[in-house]
Chain A
């Protein structure tokens, strides 16, 4: 069966974001990947090849926020993001919450820097302890999709979108 798919990924995901509740043809971050890679941001899949303890930067679409009770009574925020290669689990301890809780709790797309933790057999239990948020790549999904569109590749237009993305 022929499936119509003639437009670029960027246009398609933008169109899908504007017209549907799901993404069918591609993950919304696929179009943004070249830009993310240029900023040293790794994917969920690449995390499986990196050593525990390494400082990494990742970007993902917000999926779940969870705040279970802890032994100490202090709040720990667990966030699950997703990029085009898989799920990414973040842990936000109280120290990082002081500065970043608000932005993490209200942003559809999040880019964070933190320490990679790998445990269990072959390090397959993977999480990132958040140390900081990269603000110009954190915000609403709509703005992020604009950033990944080929039409926004010129330095001027990119700066314009980035500016609005931060707001």
Chain B
């Protein structure tokens, strides 16, 4: 056993600096025979991943961070307990200030307040700025240590670090650590040996240099790489050779022991406690029953029973106040006219339907137990989609409602092959035109070391120029998969029990939202609740279509439409589904031609079928043949008829797997859900073996024969992994139907909605315009006297906006519109050029686009809304 413990370790979560993942670190520590290791990045993004990996490898994880203090020097803080981890989160939050990367130096006050339970390593060298230590610095170090000793909660846990990286320059390293030893002795402080680990092996130094090169070349940061390849994960023996001070080496183990009681509470649930909790259960029941009463004059007993059961389950996991909170958020959206819909398994809940709207789960055979059941080890998600353009209003509302308990979830971007090649090439000094040539045909989606495989196997890369660049390939292959930057999850909001800063450091996103350092997997591991307030551009498109119709005096209540409109299904059967939500891809268009949907349940099935799993598993072909009566539906047992009849014996939905296990084998829904989850993972796992025997025993007890049980099990097992959540599909199908209805009945408004909602779906504006033109809708080019910032209805046609002209961005377009509003339509080209002196390139583009043609026509001089309405009449 190697007694040495590395206490200053910078992984790839010290973005564009460290070269390894926390998992790689743990593996290497284990190979060296060391018993513990710290992770001390410039934040805590990697901490939960590191903690989980270390725990499962039997290595003691020590969590810390490196921070800048008042005099510009750096210290490393290590948490000795979960409370101390909370203090570390506070200090990092202070350092983040109003950004997502540490920019603020901690003050003495900060450390005085928040250093309880933290071990501090100080007197470090700073290599990033490339500054060398001088005599003046030495005095500063002494002074700095004195000050730290005064402000730290545990002055006895202040350690003076000794580094020896065997750097050239006359053994400067050695001189510095000898000096640190004497300063420590003078001040009565203990010493500790560390290595500022930045790569796992010396040969990874090139990766580190490349990462720093990306910071310098791409981000234009004034930063320097480490001076040599000695900053690797050295063995205890190697560290003893470099730093021959037994006490400094032994203190690494001493500090590890101090941190032994630290643990992250992974694997336990931490539901939020909100203001409403005391009365929440009662209040939730009242709201739900009231809504139920509004929907049914005489409420069917089956609804009452279902709601009773659901409320009991929600109360059992103490989430009544959370449901009420989501209701408040959705009510805010409703009151502001923000379109929204529930997605995911939550749409299978009657309570969610009553609180938030959507499709009636009882009418479509959805299953609450797919959403919440007693066996679920994590907190259930309620994911809500909002109009993309207005989603931020909703997020701000929630943040204002619970300012101390909420933050945005983080997202970690990793290098993919194409970006790795391009950025590495830049760091290695390739010229831009060469980088473009080298990255041609490199797929965007490749991950990890697939680059080498791709170069070998993909025909478009045979003899590609990049194949000769062996050094670049090697570097890029090593970069791919490494975290490259932290960002903000599009709509994930973390809601914590108590203060959010006890759980994660919180910075501020460029949009001004608080953002934490836990990503969605970390939140799940810590049992924290994440509310997804997502943006759906199709909601924006539908809203904009409805606005066009409103201007024409057509009021359409899409939510109340019956779901059996013939013209809508005829449109889908024609396969002309470009722009229709979820059904516009080439594969879905083809499938429409086979399935010819006639009712809403067909849309639910089609959305569920066209997924990688069912396509790979040949389920689609089986379903199509049975649906078209080319082969008989096969249902293995009469008990399964009510479950599988709607899908011709093919298991399409996850809910069907749960029902089969429940009805045929008598498993509880919790067991059935565990069974479904196990099916999608490792089927040879111990858990799966146990569940299989449970399935067989249960089915035998119900009087089924062993051969029948084996038959049903095999059929379920064959399809279970591919099943799709029906509740989610039903929720999406509702939006699909609405968008198809608009296309079938109001194509002009439909296309305008799509064109003005940003990038909706797969097709570019050109393709949408081409289809509109083919369907007889005239497309008018942009014109300085007619166009605005968005596509607009003009008679039965569509007028393109000014911003489609090259060089005319929103700013130029606004100038043109303001001038037109101020002094009327432009009378001729001279008038336009006099009133708006624009660069020649823009004038030329406007001329070529036809935006300056026929300015002398008198109609332009009427206000656009006048001639628009005249032409509509």
**Closest B residue by C-beta to A87:** B578
Given A69-B612, A71-B617, A101-B458, A121–B770 Cβ distance below 8 Å? no
Picked from B574, B612, B766, B850, the residue with its CB within 8 Å of the CB of A124 is B574
- The reply to whether B806 and A19 form a contact with Cβ atoms under 8 Å apart is yes
Given A4-B850, A101-B458, A20–B804 Cβ distance below 8 Å? yes
B762 at the interface (CB under 8 A from A): yes
Picked from A78, A85, A121, the residue with its CB within 8 Å of the CB of B587 is A78
Query: CA separation between A87 and B445, bound complex, in Å?
Result: 25
- A120: chain B residues at CB < 8 Å are 575, 590, 593-594, 596
Query: CA separation between A99 and B460, bound complex, in Å?
Result: 8
- The reply to whether B853 and A127 form a contact with Cβ atoms under 8 Å apart is no
B114 at the interface (CB under 8 A from A): no
- A12: chain B residues at CB < 8 Å are 850
- The reply to whether A84 and B770 form a contact with Cβ atoms under 8 Å apart is yes
Given A106-B441, A120-B596, A4–B586 Cβ distance below 8 Å? no
Q: Taking each of A68, A89, A120, which has the highest tally of chain B beta carbons within 10 Å of its own beta carbon?
A: A120
What does the 1/0 interface line of A7-23 toward B look like (CB < 8 Å)? 00000100110111111
- A124: chain B residues at CB < 8 Å are 573-575, 593
What does the 1/0 interface line of A108-128 toward B look like (CB < 8 Å)? 000000000001110011110
- The reply to whether A18 and B848 form a contact with Cβ atoms under 8 Å apart is yes
B849 at the interface (CB under 8 A from A): yes
- B867: chain A residues at CB < 8 Å are 1
Chain A interface residue count, Cβ-Cβ cutoff 8 angstroms: 48
- A22: chain B residues at CB < 8 Å are 765-766, 769, 800, 804
B782 at the interface (CB under 8 A from A): yes
Given A15-B849, A80-B586, A89-B589, A20–B774 Cβ distance below 8 Å? no
- The reply to whether A25 and B781 form a contact with Cβ atoms under 8 Å apart is yes
A140 at the interface (CB under 8 A from B): no
- The reply to whether A101 and B780 form a contact with Cβ atoms under 8 Å apart is no
- B612: chain A residues at CB < 8 Å are 68-69
A109 to chain B, nearest CB (A): 13
Query: CA separation between A78 and B794, bound complex, in Å?
Result: 36
**Closest A residue by C-beta to B618:** A71
B802 to chain A, nearest CB (A): 10
- B617: chain A residues at CB < 8 Å are 71
B816 to chain A, nearest CB (A): 15
- B782: chain A residues at CB < 8 Å are 20, 24
- The reply to whether B780 and A3 form a contact with Cβ atoms under 8 Å apart is yes
- The reply to whether B590 and A102 form a contact with Cβ atoms under 8 Å apart is no
Picked from A25, A64, A68, the residue with its CB within 8 Å of the CB of B763 is A64
A63 at the interface (CB under 8 A from B): yes
- B847: chain A residues at CB < 8 Å are 19
A92 to chain B, nearest CB (A): 10
Query: CA separation between A121 and B242, bound complex, in Å?
Result: 78
Q: How many A-B residue pairs have CB under 8 A?
A: 151
- The reply to whether B593 and A1 form a contact with Cβ atoms under 8 Å apart is no
- B578: chain A residues at CB < 8 Å are 87
- The reply to whether A2 and B586 form a contact with Cβ atoms under 8 Å apart is no
- A125: chain B residues at CB < 8 Å are 575, 589-594
B593 to chain A, nearest CB (A): 3
- The reply to whether A119 and B594 form a contact with Cβ atoms under 8 Å apart is yes
Picked from A27, A64, A98, the residue with its CB within 8 Å of the CB of B586 is A64
- A71: chain B residues at CB < 8 Å are 615-618
B362 at the interface (CB under 8 A from A): no
Picked from A70, A102, A127, the residue with its CB within 8 Å of the CB of B460 is A102
Query: CA separation between A22 and B779, bound complex, in Å?
Result: 11
A105 at the interface (CB under 8 A from B): yes
Chain B interface residue count, Cβ-Cβ cutoff 8 angstroms: 62
Query: CA separation between A119 and B589, bound complex, in Å?
Result: 12
**Closest A residue by C-beta to B803:** A21
Q: Taking each of A16, A23, A25, A99, which has the highest tally of chain B beta carbons within 10 Å of its own beta carbon?
A: A23
Given A24-B779, A106-B441, A119-B594, A98–B459 Cβ distance below 8 Å? yes
A77 to chain B, nearest CB (A): 10
Name A74-93 residues within 8 Å CB distance of B.
75, 78, 80, 82, 84-87, 89
**Closest B residue by C-beta to A127:** B590
Picked from B587, B774, B800, the residue with its CB within 8 Å of the CB of A68 is B587
What does the 1/0 interface line of B116-146 toward A look like (CB < 8 Å)? 0000000000000000000000000000000
- The reply to whether B853 and A4 form a contact with Cβ atoms under 8 Å apart is yes
Query: CA separation between A26 and B767, bound complex, in Å?
Result: 11
B795 at the interface (CB under 8 A from A): yes
What does the 1/0 interface line of B583-609 toward A look like (CB < 8 Å)? 001110111111010000000000000
- B844: chain A residues at CB < 8 Å are 19
Query: CA separation between A5 and B854, bound complex, in Å?
Result: 10
- B574: chain A residues at CB < 8 Å are 124
Query: CA separation between A64 and B768, bound complex, in Å?
Result: 13
Picked from B590, B594, B795, the residue with its CB within 8 Å of the CB of A1 is B795
A97 at the interface (CB under 8 A from B): yes
- A64: chain B residues at CB < 8 Å are 585-586, 762-763
Query: CA separation between A82 and B766, bound complex, in Å?
Result: 10
**Closest B residue by C-beta to A24:** B781
- The reply to whether B766 and A2 form a contact with Cβ atoms under 8 Å apart is no
- B460: chain A residues at CB < 8 Å are 97, 101-102, 105-106
A66 at the interface (CB under 8 A from B): yes
- The reply to whether B859 and A19 form a contact with Cβ atoms under 8 Å apart is no
Query: CA separation between A134 and B46, bound complex, in Å?
Result: 52
A14 to chain B, nearest CB (A): 9
Given A98-B459, A101-B459, A120-B594, A15–B586 Cβ distance below 8 Å? no
- The reply to whether B586 and A1 form a contact with Cβ atoms under 8 Å apart is no
Name B612-628 residues within 8 Å CB distance of A.
612, 615-618
Given A24-B781, A121-B596, A69–B458 Cβ distance below 8 Å? no
**Closest A residue by C-beta to B847:** A19
**Closest B residue by C-beta to A101:** B460
- The reply to whether B854 and A2 form a contact with Cβ atoms under 8 Å apart is yes
- 19 A-B contacts, Cβ less than 8 Å apart? A1-B867, A5-B850, A19-B845, A22-B765, A22-B800, A25-B779, A64-B585, A64-B763, A66-B585, A66-B586, A66-B587, A70-B615, A70-B616, A71-B618, A84-B770, A87-B589, A125-B589, A125-B590, A127-B586
Please give me the 7 A-B residue pairs with the lowest Cβ-Cβ distance, nearest first: A125-B593, A120-B593, A4-B853, A19-B848, A102-B460, A101-B460, A24-B781
Besides A20-B782, A119-B594, 11 more A-B contacts (Cβ < 8 Å) are A1-B871, A20-B805, A23-B769, A23-B770, A63-B764, A64-B585, A66-B587, A71-B615, A84-B770, A89-B586, A101-B458
